Structure 1
Amino acid sequence: MNHPNPVYFSAEIRAIEQLAATLPDSSNLMEKAGLAAAQIARNRLLINDKTNVLILAGPGNNGGDAFVVARYLKQWYFNVTLVFTGDRIRLSNDAERTMMAWLAIGGEIRTEIPINRNWDAIIDGLFGIGFNQKKQRRLEGKYLDLIKTVSSMRLPILALDIPSGLESDNGCIYDMALRATITVTFIGLKPGLLTNYGPEYCGEILLRDLGLDVTTLLAPHVWTIDHALIPTLLPPPRLANSHKGMFGSIGIVGGSAGMVGAALLAGRAALQLGAGRVYLGLIARNAPTVDTIQPELMFRLAHELVKLKHLNCLVIGPGLGMESDAYSCVDCALSTKLPLVLDADALNLIATHTFLAQKLSHRNFPSIITPHAAEAARLLNTDVITVQNDRMAAARQLSEYFNCYVVLKGAGSICALPEGKYYLNTSGNPGLSSAGTGDVLSGMIGTLLAQGLSTEQALLLGVYLHGASADTLLRKNNGPLGMVASEIIISARTLLNRWIYNTP
């Protein structure tokens, strides 16, 4: 099944629920969701039928799901304590039915967590996708106190749909959120699970579609980049009768004084991931003319490199600097017909000079920009907090304004395509939070473009491979500390060969 998972915003999930309710064979989605969650709790969190379970049921439909979970666990002989935080007379019809079914089997409803009691696991059914910062503004009062109390227990938590306090559309936390061990999400994935704080707070994410053929009910425009997608992105195995001219020539421009290493990292990544020829144009005066670690790299003067006729792709920005020579190189690069990957100081120059920004937005040839949050904020003339508070919107605005492909880097990197498609990356870890990893990513995307992949393929494969390489190192090193950019290159080369040639 080489299809990525669709991702839906909360409003789209509501629309799918309404459409599902009109189907002739539809049955209660709340009942199905609660049963699915109860089965996961029983199989993954609860030790035996003597386990004590604390269930938090909120005021909306997420609370209705929690009542169903409570009912099944009680029927399976677990010791269940249910705390309901809402108003019974304001429940939806479906949620009220689940509450009455809970009471009918002898279930009790508490309004506060009992003191001097111990539990083994917690089911979080407080908010789900019903928590929307624009409506609720902030967590406060009893809800904030409740989340503080539960967080202090340090127990395994199963979150229903999304951890309470985490915003489902953008992954923001505005006051506090529960940190789940497992999150079971219903119908479809949500952006907030996968980007910003989502990867940190959701734990293991399990999707239950509740028997719906979701994409036929509502066509998605956001997907995940995951391993299922990778076979559709890979270049073909190489023929025995091949030569370097078949695998592209890539130019990399950057490396101002004190930042030569950035360009070298991008060049080494491009070479070791398969480019036939890699040229480096360094800005720094008295820059080296050979890389003794990677002598296969070929050096040219920066202003000459951007004019080479036989290049298939140009990467500009790693360690570029902000001086006049750097400006001239970016200006010249934007005038070429080559596919471009623009990173780091190339983006800062575009953000600083309106002429360059307009030139990028009017290009008729493929352009990929790779900003982190601070660079995105400069390009959008805003601040980092605004970008992080709605990463999906920021990626969309960048793509639309500059008429280009975008990867907004960070936890759950977001790829935005000019035609309005979006992808959320599922690979990567904190080990990538070190100097030079962005330069490696630029070289990786560039080399895939030079080898003939489409812009979309090169972007998606490069972003996923970059994160997956770090994940491999995470397992090898037993953690993210000390992971360095040059290691990513070697790990990525091994993985890419493994994927293309199907080797163990």
Structure 2
Amino acid sequence: MTDATPSHPTLVNPHDRAVALLTVAQLREREHAAQAALPAHTLMARAGAAAAHFLREQILHAPSAASARPVWFAAGPGNNGGDALVAAAALKRAGIDCEVCMPVEVKPDDARWALAEARAAGVPITRTPPASFDGYGWLVDGLFGIGLARALDGEFGGLAERLSARTRASGHVLALDVPSGLDSDTGNVVGGGPAVRASHTVSFIAAKPGLYTGAGRDYAGVVSVAPIGIETQGIETPGIETPVAFQSPGIALLNSTALFGPSMPARDFATHKGSFGTLAVIGGDTGMCGAPVLAARAALLAGAGKVNVGFLGNDAPPYDAPHPELMLHHAAKLSLDAMSAVAAGCGMGGSASARQLVERILRLDAAVLLDADALNLVARDDALAAHVSEHARTRGAPCVLTPHPLEAARLLGTDTAEVQRDRLASARALASHYEAVVVLKGSGTVIAAPDGRLAINPTGNAALATGGTGDVLGGLIGALLAQRLPPFEAALAGVYLHGLAADALVAQGDGPAGLAAGELAPMVRRLINRIFYPAKD
């Protein structure tokens, strides 16, 4: 091993840390700069050492029967295979049995050096995988990294499918840098082929956007970051809460309480309901009155001082029995000029009166969130779209738009597949075109600001795949806007807490199957108070 290899490599847990999420181009830039300044093979030596350290820690804490099983590595023909070979050599030298399957011999110079290291350490290297993995402990995916440009096929595609089957059966599959077959920029599977579904991923240099959005969360599993001595924003001081800012244009961050916590309002003894704003939730055409009620209840429990509901339909309830604190009106009779913030669109429908109401809302001197039907109205009406952009210029703060992928496609004049092909680019395009803060919902929700700031949200799970959860999110963000959080921070906070509530409910057994949208808001209230307003001794 090179002398530059640390004896105890650093592994960063990105949980609730606003780590940088670097694209392939950004990673290559840093990698090339580091290689020019370091001795040959240093980065590969460090990457392999970090992977070996991760595996040693897992084996050390495993039951004795599991810890005695050898580690099996799948090594591809490129530098990802070299990382696997270095890790195998390190484990072998540490007295841990391991074996490498290398269907095609590695080609790059660094990887050839790693192959010599593995052979010198006495690592058994075969060309064909075993008929069964039952005799092995951890399986390691070192087939392909961030440079893969085409779908996995042949023997590599077969290995990806076998590794994925092992993850589904018992876990204990580690991907090196990125699961083979996954696009680390977008979170999509490369070329529509197979990809490795790992239980864990050790990501080298920095975390990647594709590990947290699209299909990435399903394929990457639990992510750790091995900086391997290359500084990147947000992870250069592991274990220490680093001041975080969106200082580097084009670099996304992982959403975290560090990004929005300082904007949460103080709750001093002398505050009153006016201190926390007045929100209007507008929507609920005939037959759809439940949507704004869900949003309004969420807003109330998220700390808004006063919450009004304006219904368009003729079947609106006179009051909300579970929460009589909500003030219910017909939308036409609601004094919108008195509102601190307005959240419009849930169950609103597409009538002419709905369109007129959205135009009126966009002329207000208030914070505005548009969701659901309000977004569809904007998508098909150029005049309304212009009002969205004008709101940012005239009021000095952008609107918040919260589309799911189909709504985003309508707003961009494209289709859902194109939106999902690159979720970060789609969110950026929406934010730029409408001069708005955009919340592109989905697995790994993307939050984009018109000034270029970008974040991916790490919280949430399949429990949110049920009707009404989007209405709850709109109410949460609306409540935070009413409490005078800046639009981008309100969006970050609402999305993060919405997902964290689902995570907490699943952890206590109330999901993912069968979780109702209305169950989220009480948990959000508990989390807000636990995280931001803990009881003082």
TM-score of the superposed pair, with normalisation by structure 2: 0.88
Q: Distance in 2 between matches of 1:406 and 1:33?
A: 36
Structure 1 residue 57 displacement after superposition: 1.0
Q: Which residue of 1 aligns with 2:73?
A: 55
Per-residue CA deviation, residues 91-130 of structure 1 (Å, 9 max, x unaligned), is: 2221111111112223343222133663222110111212
Q: Which residue of 1 aligns with 2:467?
A: 435
Q: What aligned pairs does 1:273-422 form with structure 2 within 5 A after superposition?
A: 273-305=302-334, 308-363=336-391, 364=393, 365=395, 366-422=398-454
Structure 1 residue 250 displacement after superposition: 0.9
Q: Which residue of 2 aligns with 1:161?
A: 177
- Structure 2 residue matching 1:362: 3-state secondary structure: helix
Judge conservation of contact 1:226–1:427 (CA < 8 Å) in 2: no
Q: Which residue of 1 aligns with 2:282?
A: 253
Q: Distance in 1 between matches of 2:40 and 2:318?
A: 69
Structure 1 residue 3 displacement after superposition: 6.0
Larger CA deviation: 94-103 vs 147-156: 147-156
Judge conservation of contact 2:49–2:90 (CA < 8 Å) in 1: yes
Q: Which residue of 2 aligns with 1:13?
A: 27
Cα pair distance change 1:493/1:149, threshold 3 Å: closer
Instruction: For 2:256, give the aligned amino acid.
Output: D
Instruction: For 1:72, give the aligned amino acid.
Output: A
Cα pair distance change 1:243/1:50, threshold 3 Å: closer
Instruction: For 1:344, give the aligned amino acid.
Output: A
Structure 1 residue 354 displacement after superposition: 2.4
Instruction: For 2:113, give the aligned amino acid.
Output: R
**Is there any run of 5+ residues in structure 2 with no aligned partner, and where?**
1-13, 237-246
Judge conservation of contact 2:260–2:489 (CA < 8 Å) in 1: no
Q: Which residue of 1 aligns with 2:255?
A: 225
- Structure 2 residue matching 1:188: 3-state secondary structure: coil
Instruction: For 2:27, give the aligned amino acid.
Output: I
Q: Distance in 1 between matches of 2:256 and 2:314?
A: 43
Q: Which residue of 2 aligns with 1:148?
A: 161
Instruction: For 1:10, give the aligned amino acid.
Output: V
Structure 1 counterpart of 2:477, from 420, 433, 445 = 445
Cα pair distance change 1:495/1:115, threshold 3 Å: closer
Instruction: For 2:223, give the aligned amino acid.
Output: I
Judge conservation of contact 1:260–1:284 (CA < 8 Å) in 2: yes
Structure 1 residue 309 displacement after superposition: 2.1
- Structure 2 residue matching 1:22: 3-state secondary structure: helix
Q: Which residue of 2 aligns with 1:129?
A: 146
Q: Distance in 2 between matches of 1:68 and 1:447?
A: 52
Judge conservation of contact 2:163–2:197 (CA < 8 Å) in 1: no
Whether 1:268 and 2:297 are equivalent positions in the alignment is: yes
Q: Distance in 2 between matches of 1:420 and 1:375?
A: 21
TM-score of the superposed pair, with normalisation by structure 1: 0.93
Judge conservation of contact 1:415–1:460 (CA < 8 Å) in 2: yes
Instruction: For 1:371, give the aligned amino acid.
Output: P
Judge conservation of contact 1:20–1:26 (CA < 8 Å) in 2: no
Structure 1 residue 478 displacement after superposition: 5.4
Whether 1:75 and 2:93 are equivalent positions in the alignment is: yes
**Structure 1: 4+ residue segments shifted above 4 A:** 24-27, 45-49
Per-residue CA deviation, residues 466-495 of structure 1 (Å, 9 max, x unaligned), is: 111111111122531111111111001111
Q: Distance in 1 between matches of 2:39 and 2:119?
A: 28
Q: Which residue of 1 aligns with 2:9?
A: none
- Structure 1 residue matching 2:337: 3-state secondary structure: coil
Structure 2 counterpart of 1:102, from 99, 118, 124 = 118
Per-residue CA deviation, residues 12-64 of structure 1 (Å, 9 max, x unaligned), is: 11111111223368970111111111111122157567422210111221111
Whether 1:37 and 2:67 are equivalent positions in the alignment is: no
Q: Distance in 2 between matches of 1:342 and 1:26?
A: 54
Judge conservation of contact 1:235–1:500 (CA < 8 Å) in 2: no
Q: Distance in 1 between matches of 2:399 and 2:40?
A: 46
Judge conservation of contact 1:165–1:178 (CA < 8 Å) in 2: yes
Q: Which residue of 2 aligns with 1:64?
A: 82
Q: Distance in 2 between matches of 1:197 and 1:360?
A: 31
Report the identity percentage: 39
Structure 1 counterpart of 2:209, from 172, 188, 191 = 191
Q: Distance in 2 between matches of 1:22 and 1:383?
A: 43
Instruction: For 2:264, give the aligned amino acid.
Output: L
Judge conservation of contact 2:281–2:296 (CA < 8 Å) in 1: yes
Cα pair distance change 1:478/1:25, threshold 3 Å: farther
Larger CA deviation: 238-247 vs 202-211: 238-247
Larger CA deviation: 38-47 vs 404-413: 38-47
Judge conservation of contact 1:29–1:210 (CA < 8 Å) in 2: yes
Q: Distance in 2 between matches of 1:490 and 1:179?
A: 34
Structure 2 counterpart of 1:180, from 174, 194, 198 = 198
Q: Which residue of 1 aligns with 2:487?
A: 455
Structure 1 residue 142 displacement after superposition: 2.2
Instruction: For 2:277, give the aligned amino acid.
Output: G
Structure 1 residue 413 displacement after superposition: 0.5
Larger CA deviation: 316-325 vs 173-182: 173-182
Instruction: For 2:88, give the aligned amino acid.
Output: A
Per-residue CA deviation, residues 54-82 of structure 1 (Å, 9 max, x unaligned), is: 10111221111011011011222333221
- Structure 1 residue matching 2:320: 3-state secondary structure: coil
Per-residue CA deviation, residues 293-350 of structure 1 (Å, 9 max, x unaligned), is: 2111112331343x53221111100110111111111121122232110001001111
Whether 1:139 and 2:152 are equivalent positions in the alignment is: yes
Judge conservation of contact 1:253–1:318 (CA < 8 Å) in 2: yes
Q: Distance in 1 between matches of 2:413 and 2:35?
A: 44
Q: Which residue of 2 aligns with 1:469?
A: 501
Q: What aligned pairs does 1:472-491 form with structure 2 within 5 A after superposition?
A: 472-477=504-509, 479-491=511-523
Kindly tell me the number of residue pairs found equivalent between the two proteins.
496
Per-residue CA deviation, residues 167-201 of structure 1 (Å, 9 max, x unaligned), is: 10111122221111111111111011001111112
- Structure 1 residue matching 2:99: 3-state secondary structure: strand
Superposed CA RMSD? 2.2
